[in-house]
Amino acid sequence: MALYMIGLGLNDSKDITIKGLEAVKKADVVYLESYTSKLSTKFPELEQFYNKKIIVASREIVESQAEQTILKDAKAKETVFLVVGDVFSATTHTDLYLRARKLAIKVHVIHNASVLTAVGATGLQLYKFGKVASIPFLNENVEAPYDVLKINMQNNLHTLFLLDLKENETVSLSVNDAVRYLLRTEIKRGERLFSDHTLCIGCAGLGSEDQIIKMGSAKDLIRHQFGQGMQCLIVPGKNLHFMEEEMLRLYK
C-alpha cells in the first residue's frame, strides 16, 4: 500500500501525465487538494474523466486531519493525493510527504508543470527570478510581499506574486487588486519603489489555450480585464536581456 502524490498541471483534466493517470486508475482512494489552486475543469467532469469518486481535501484535512484521513487510508490502500500544478509547489504538501515517511508509508511522487515554470511563457528567464511571494485577499495590514519585492529589486531580480485563492471558489485575487495593494503599501511605507509607471506583467489562466499575458505599466494593468480563474503578477527586475525585451513586446 502507498501514497501517490500526483501533480495535475495547470489547466484541465487532460494535463495529468500518463504515469499519473495510470496511478489514479488503479487507486482505491483519491483525494484532491482544494485550497492552493484550481483547474478549469469542473469537479463532476474530473470524476467522470478519471472514473473515480474524488474526496475534496480542504486545508484542515491536509494540515490537521491527515493522520485520520489521507495517511490512514495510505496505510491500508492505494491512495492518491492530487495537487493542481506540481506536487511540491506548496509547503503544505512537503509537510504531508514528511508525515507519511515518518509513518513508514511508501510515497510515490509524480511531477507536473506549475506556475513557477509556466511564467517562462512571458519570456523572462527563470533563473533571474528571486524569492516568490503570495498576496492574500485580506491584505490591509500585510507588508511581507512588498518586502520581498524590495529585496528582489535591490538584487535586479524578477518578482513573482502568487495571488490568493478563496477556498471552495475558483477565483483568485485579481492582478488589478494585486497592483492596487502594492501602490497602497508604497504610499503607506513612504518609499519610492513601486509607482503607476512601474513595468508589470499580469497573467491569467497560464497553461490554457486562452491564457492572458499583459505587459504594461502598473496603471495600465489596473485597467486591463483579466477575466476569471487563477492569476499572478510579475514585476520584472531592471536591465532586461534583449531576448526578454523582445518577448515582452509581444504582450503590450
Range scoring the smallest mean pLDDT among 43-57, 155-169, 174-188, 228-242: 155-169
The total of structural domains in the chain comes to 2
- Tell me, yes or no, whether 133 and 239 share the same domain: yes
Domain end (from 85, 113, 141): 113
What are the helix and strand counts (H, E) for the chain?
10, 10
**Where in the sequence is the domain holding 28, given as residue range(s)?**
2-113
> Tens of pLDDT along 131-161?
999 999 888 899 999 999 999 999 999 999 9
Q: Are residues 216 and 122 in the same domain?
A: yes
pLDDT tens per residue, range 16-60: 999 999 999 999 999 999 888 888 888 888 999 999 999 999 999
List the single range of 43-47, 81-85, 122-126 with lowest mean pLDDT: 43-47
Give per-residue burial for 170-201: e unless 16+ CB within 10 Å, then b: eebbbbbbbbebbbebbeeeeeeebeeebbbb
The answer to whether residues 120 and 232 belong to one domain is yes
Task: Judge if 88 and 127 occupy the same domain.
Answer: no
Average pLDDT for the chain: 94
pTM: 0.92
**What pLDDT is stored for residue 226 in this prediction?**
94
Is residue 68 located within the same domain as residue 7?
yes
Q: Are residues 109 and 121 in the same domain?
A: no
Compute the chain's Rg from CA coordinates: 19
Q: What residue type is assigned to position 94 of the chain?
A: T
Higher pLDDT, 89 or 217: 217
Q: What are phi and psi of 178, to 5 degrees?
A: -65, -40
Under 8 Å CB-to-CB from 110, ≥6 apart: which residues?
4, 5, 6, 7, 17, 19, 20, 23, 87
Count the alpha carbons within 13 Å of 171 in the hemisphere toward its beta carbon. Answer: 7
- pLDDT above 80 for 171: no
Whether residue 99 has pLDDT greater than 90: yes
Per-residue pLDDT at 170 = 65
Do 76 and 135 fall into the same domain? Answer: no
Where does the chain have alpha helices with state H?
18-25, 43-50, 59-64, 70-76, 91-102, 115-118, 144-154, 175-189, 218-223, 242-248
Tell me: do 242 and 142 sit in the same domain: yes
- Out of 53, 83, 113, pick the residue that ends a domain: 113
Give the pLDDT band (50/70/90) at residue 116: very high
Same domain flag for 84 and 172? no
Rounded to 10°, the helix 144-154/175-189 angle is 80
Is the per-residue pLDDT at 168 higher than 70? no
Choose one of 68, 92, 113: the last residue of a domain: 113
Q: Using CA atoms, how far apart are residues 22 and 81, in angstroms rounded to an integer?
A: 14
- Are 141 and 246 contained in the same domain? yes
Looking up residue 104, the CATH number of its domain turns out to be 3.40.1010.10
Cα–Cα distance, 154 to 227 (Å, whole number): 32
